[in-house]
Amino acid sequence: MVGQCEAIVKGDDHEREELKKWMTIGIPIQSKKGEFLGVLGILIQDWIASADNTSLIASFRQLTKCAVEIWENTKNRLETEGLLEGAIHLFSEGYLAIQDGCVITCNKRAESLLLEDPALLNRVIDNLKNLSGSEILFRTSTVQNSFEIKGRVENHIYHLLLNRIRTTEDKTRKQKASIKNIVGTSSIFLKNIKLAELASQMDANVLILGESGTGKELFARAIHRGSSRRDKPFIAINCAAMPRELLNSELFGYVEGAFTGARRGGSPGKFELANGGTLFLDEIGDMPIEQQAALLRVLQEKEVVRIGGSAMIPIDVRIISATNKRLTQEIAYNGSFRSDLYYRLNVFTIELTPLRNRREDIPELVAYFLQELSHTTGLPEKSIDGHAIEAFMRYSWPGNVRELRNVVERSFYLSGYAEIISLKHIPEYVAFRDEIDHHVESARSSDSISKPQEIDRISATPNDLGTQDIKSIRLMKVETEKHEIARILHQNNGNISRCAKELGMSRTTLYRKLKDYNFM
């Protein structure tokens, strides 16, 4: 019976003399399952105890029951917290929980990332101050590291997952293209990133819109790499670069003898080559309208017939298309694009932001391109000074990221052995954009210059910048030409004929310049 009922000993019933003025109560402590845990011993002065102790014992019994429940709940909570604590250390991503600007818990991966970049935590907390809503997605970068942070806010606690985005690997840009590797931290660009992540999780057709040079193919490859089709082929075709006579055979293939010059045994088309994977139709807005009908039929039937053949070949292909045109306008006003094909392609749309609308990403992009160039050429890493970056930030970049990369690459080579790229190494139309724009505006407002060709002449060359500026510009032109000749010579292993042809000058002129620049 021990542990199942209460025991009461009053005054003189005690054996020990010092307890004869007390009443002793023993109440068993049991778990919810009836397991005996112990005894609650209570001593009460005898004169306080009433003749009827039933209600008193019932109160203590209830108190004991409540205490046990609290203990068991606390134990369960601690066990649960222990399980969760162990689980977060299994995450491949860094996990942080932040409340009131302080870290309340984190996993080992997060500790490692914070040790590698000690300023990361402060940058994360600063970013959180400027965010609203429950969903969190932003990026923070330095020259060495770039991180993506995503998560949610629950009960004023930020639950965050940290991913480091690697910027240099022993792979080509096309091979390593993934959504996490796309460079950019501006809020407007991160919306493009989020849409790309959503697109990679579904198998619907995707239409990517954007100006030339915004990275449409990069996004297409990244979506493919993040999708369930990542281990299958990614096949790209430029619809604008392909002659209309060859476009059908490139897309659908042909059988032997289909036309003069057809390969023996025939040839599969891009649809067959991409079977199970992704077909990227670049510049889809330039596809001739007669080919659009054939493409629509293949998308509807999921079968392709080679040119000159009759066999139906089943295909399983995801279509990602891209264009720099407004297809709705092409449909409504020009009639150059089929509306039914548009609706087939436009299941999921991503409109990429031009570089001029996300200028805050320019320093990070420049640093990335310089790292990449150093990595691929084996040359020492270079940095860029503040004046050159300011010029980059002022320029409008009509060619977007493609133009920026071209300018960075050119400046990388023209800087020679210099460790820092400065204003003199970048193209004049970028370096002196402000002066050029100022003089064009002055010309437009001046009565003395009213002809458009005069304005064009001024916008093409930075006139009236002062004698000293003109001399500096001429010197820069000489240095630019000198470094360009050195680069071409290096590329062609000193072959004068090939260098002269690539530079667009005669061998005699090249020899003269080599002598003038002390190359020989």
- 460-469 tens-digit pLDDT: 444 444 444 4
Q: Flag whether pLDDT at 495 surpasses 80.
A: no
Give the chain's length: 520
pLDDT, residue 479, reads 66
Residue 226 or 28, more confident:
226
pLDDT, residue 321, reads 95
pLDDT, residue 39, reads 74
Distances in Å between the alpha carbon of 220 and those of 170, 211, 277? 21, 15, 12
pLDDT, residue 104, reads 85
Q: Flag whether pLDDT at 8 surpasses 90.
A: no
Contacts of 378 (CB under 8 A, 6+ apart): none
Q: Residue 76 carries which side chain, given as an amino acid letter? A: N
- 253-311 tens-digit pLDDT: 888 888 777 778 888 889 999 999 999 999 999 888 888 988 999 999 999 999 888 88
CA-to-CA distance for 445 and 453, rounded, in angstroms? 15
Distances in Å between the alpha carbon of 48 and those of 10, 43, 52, 56, 244? 11, 11, 11, 11, 107
Please, what is the angle between helix 120-129 and helix 108-116, to 10°? 100
Q: Which two tokens stand for residue 345?
A: 């392609």
CA-to-CA distance for 147 and 138, rounded, in angstroms? 9
Report which of 112, 134, 111, 137 is spatially closest to residue 124, judged by C-alpha positions: 137
- 400-417 tens-digit pLDDT: 999 999 999 999 988 888
- Report the alpha-carbon angle 223-228-234, nearest 5: 55
Residue 489 or 284, more confident:
284
Q: Up-side HSE of residue 425: CA atoms within 13 Å toward CB?
A: 25
Q: Which two tokens stand for residue 389?
A: 């970056």
pLDDT, residue 520, reads 60
CA-to-CA distance for 434 and 440, rounded, in angstroms? 10
Distances in Å between the alpha carbon of 512 and those of 117, 234, 475? 53, 49, 18
Q: Which two tokens stand for residue 152?
A: 């949610």
User: What are the beta bridge partners of residue 152?
Assistant: 135, 159
Q: Report percent pLDDT > 70 for the chain.
A: 78
Q: Residue 22 carries which side chain, given as an amino acid letter? A: W
250-254, 327-331, 341-345, 444-448: range with lowest mean pLDDT: 444-448
Residue 191 or 453, more confident:
191
pLDDT, residue 448, reads 39
Q: Flag whether pLDDT at 343 surpasses 70.
A: yes
Residue 475: count other Cβ atoms within 10 Å of its Cβ: 11
Is the separation of the CB atoms in 223 and 199 below 8 Å? yes
CA-to-CA distance for 397 and 389, rounded, in angstroms? 13
**pTM as predicted:** 0.59
Buried b / exposed e along 204-231 (16+ C-beta atoms within 10 A): ebbbbbbbebbbbbbbbbbbbbbbebee
Q: Flag whether pLDDT at 49 surpasses 70.
A: no
DSSP single-letter state for residue 333 = I
CA-to-CA distance for 182 and 174, rounded, in angstroms? 11
Distances in Å between the alpha carbon of 101 and those of 76, 124, 135, 157, 453? 29, 10, 18, 10, 60
- Report the alpha-carbon angle 291-296-298, nearest 5: 100
Buried b / exposed e along 413-452 (16+ C-beta atoms within 10 A): bbbeeeeebebbbbbbebbbbebbeebbeebeeeeebeee
Residue 367: count other Cβ atoms within 10 Å of its Cβ: 22
Residue 519: pLDDT band by 50, 70, 90 thresholds? low
Helical H runs in 310-465? 327-329, 339-345, 362-377, 386-394, 400-414, 428-431, 433-445, 452-460
